[in-house]
Amino acid sequence: MPVINRIAAFHDDMTAWRHHLHENPEMSYQEHETAAFVAEKLRSFGIEVTEGIGGTGLVGVLQGNGGDGPTIGLRADMDALAIEEKNDFDHVSKRAGVMHACGHDGHTTMLLGAARYLAETRNFAGRVVFIFQPAEEMGGDDGGAARMIQEGLFKQFPCEEIYGIHNWPGMDVGDFATKAGLMMASGDGFEITVKSNGMHAAQPHKGVDLVLTAAHIIVGLQQVASRNTNPLQAIVVSATQIHGGDAYNVLPNEVVIRGTVRAFSNEARAGAEPNLRRVVDGICHATGADYVLDYTRQYPTLVNEETSAQTALAAGAKVFQNVNPNPPQTMVVEDFAFMLEDRSGCYGWIGNGPEDDGCILHSAWYDFNDAALPFGASYFAAIIEGK
Ligand SMILES: [Zn+2]
Ligand SMILES: [Zn+2]
Domain segments of the chain: what residues?
5-182+302-386, 186-298
Confidence band for 343, pLDDT divided at 50, 70 and 90: very high
Q: What's the pLDDT score for residue 357?
A: 86
CA 185 / ligand 1 centre spacing (Å): 14
Give ∠ CA 384-171-83 in degrees, rounded to 5. Answer: 95
- Give the closest ligand to the alpha carbon of residue 167: 2
Distance CA 108, CA 46 (A): 18
Say which residue, 370 or 387, is predicted with more confidence.
370
Instruction: Indicate if 186-298 has the same CATH topology as 5-182+302-386.
Output: no
Tell me the average pLDDT of the chain.
Answer: 97
pLDDT digits (tens, 9 = 90+) for 5-49: 999 999 999 999 999 999 999 999 999 999 999 999 999 999 999
Q: Say whether 91 sits in a helix, a strand or coil.
A: coil
Do residues 240 and 255 touch, judged by C-beta distance below 8 A?
Answer: no
CA 136 / ligand 2 centre spacing (Å): 7
Give the residue-averaged pLDDT of 247-251: 97
Q: Say whether 271 sits in a helix, a strand or coil.
A: helix
What single DSSP character describes residue 99? Answer: B
Please give the share of the chain, as a percent, with pLDDT higher than 90: 97
CA 361 / ligand 1 centre spacing (Å): 7
pLDDT digits (tens, 9 = 90+) for 316-342: 999 999 999 999 999 999 999 999 999
Q: What's the pLDDT score for residue 139?
A: 80
**Prediction pTM value:** 0.92
What single DSSP character describes residue 330? Answer: B
Catalytic residue among 79, 85, 161, 385: 79
Distance CA 199, CA 288 (A): 14
Confidence band for 387, pLDDT divided at 50, 70 and 90: low
CATH class of 186-298: alpha beta
Do residues 233 and 309 touch, judged by C-beta distance below 8 A?
Answer: no
- Helices 104-121, 11-23: axis angle to 10 degrees equals 140
Do residues 32 and 56 touch, judged by C-beta distance below 8 A?
Answer: yes
Give ∠ CA 259-264-298 in degrees, rounded to 5. Answer: 45
- Give the closest ligand to the alpha carbon of residue 105: 2
CA 262 / ligand 2 centre spacing (Å): 17
* Whether the predicted pLDDT of 1 surpasses 60: no
pLDDT digits (tens, 9 = 90+) for 147-192: 999 999 999 999 999 999 999 999 999 999 999 999 999 999 999 9
Beta carbons within 8 Å of 234's beta carbon, 6+ residues apart: 263, 264, 268, 331
Q: What's the pLDDT score for residue 140?
A: 86
Q: What's the pLDDT score for residue 89?
A: 97
- Give the closest ligand to the alpha carbon of residue 81: 1
Angstrom distances, CA of residue 208 to CA of 193, 195, 204:
14, 9, 7
CA 12 / ligand 2 centre spacing (Å): 23
Catalytic residue among 136, 188, 334, 370: 136
- Give the closest ligand to the alpha carbon of residue 76: 2
What single DSSP character describes residue 157? Answer: S
pLDDT digits (tens, 9 = 90+) for 116-142: 999 999 999 999 999 999 999 998 889
CA 219 / ligand 2 centre spacing (Å): 31
Confidence band for 232, pLDDT divided at 50, 70 and 90: very high
Angstrom distances, CA of residue 97 to CA of 80, 82, 137, 228:
10, 6, 16, 40
Residues with CB under 5 A from ligand 2 (ion): 102
**Runs of H (alpha helix) within the chain:** 5-9, 11-23, 32-44, 104-121, 144-150, 153-156, 210-226, 266-287, 306-319, 336-342, 373-386
CA 205 / ligand 2 centre spacing (Å): 48
- Give the closest ligand to the alpha carbon of residue 108: 2
- Give the closest ligand to the alpha carbon of residue 336: 2
Distance CA 103, CA 106 (A): 5
Integer distance in angstroms from the first to the last C-alpha of the chain? 18
CA 33 / ligand 2 centre spacing (Å): 19
Q: Which residues pair with 168 in a beta bridge?
A: 351
Distance CA 78, CA 145 (A): 12
CA 29 / ligand 1 centre spacing (Å): 15
CATH of 5-182+302-386, one of 1.10.240.10, 3.50.50.60, 3.90.1300.10, 3.40.630.10: 3.40.630.10
Q: Is 385 a catalytic residue?
A: no
CA 102 / ligand 1 centre spacing (Å): 5
Q: Is 48 a catalytic residue?
A: no
- Helices 32-44, 11-23: axis angle to 10 degrees equals 160
Distance CA 47, CA 130 (A): 10
Distance CA 216, CA 56 (A): 43
Q: What is the dihedral of CA 85, 112, 133, 379, to 10 degrees?
A: -100
Do residues 300 and 347 touch, judged by C-beta distance below 8 A?
Answer: no
